[in-house]
Structure 1
Amino acid sequence: MSSMRNAVQRRNHKERSQPEERAKWGILEKHKDYSLRAKDFNEKKKRLRQLRQKALDRNEDEFSFSMLSTESNRGLKIGRPGNKPLSMDVVKLLKTQDVGYVRTMLQVERKKRRRLEEEVVLQDNERKVKKGRHMVFVGDKDEQKGFRADEWVGTWDADSLDKVRSWPRKDESVMEEMHDLDEVTLSNKARREQETELLAQREERVLKKRRARAQQGRVAYLAGVKARERELMIAELELEKQRARMHGTAGGVNKNGVRFKVRERKR
Structure 2
Amino acid sequence: MSSMRNATQRRNHRERAQPANREKWGLLEKHKDYSLRAKDYNEKKKRLQILRQKATERNPDEFHYGMLSSKSKQGRKITDRGNPALSHDAVKLLKTQDSGYLRTMIQKTRRVLEKLEKEFVLREGQGAEVLGEPDDQREGQHLVFVDTREDQKQYIPGQRLLSQPSDTRQEEDQSTKLVAEEADGDIEMASTTRAPKSRRALEREEAAQKKKRLLRKQHKKEQDARRSKLAALKSREKDLIDAENELELQRAKMSNCVGGVTKAGVKWKVRERKK
Q: Give me the TM-score of the superposition, normalised by structure 1.
A: 0.50
Give the structure with higher Rg (CA).
1
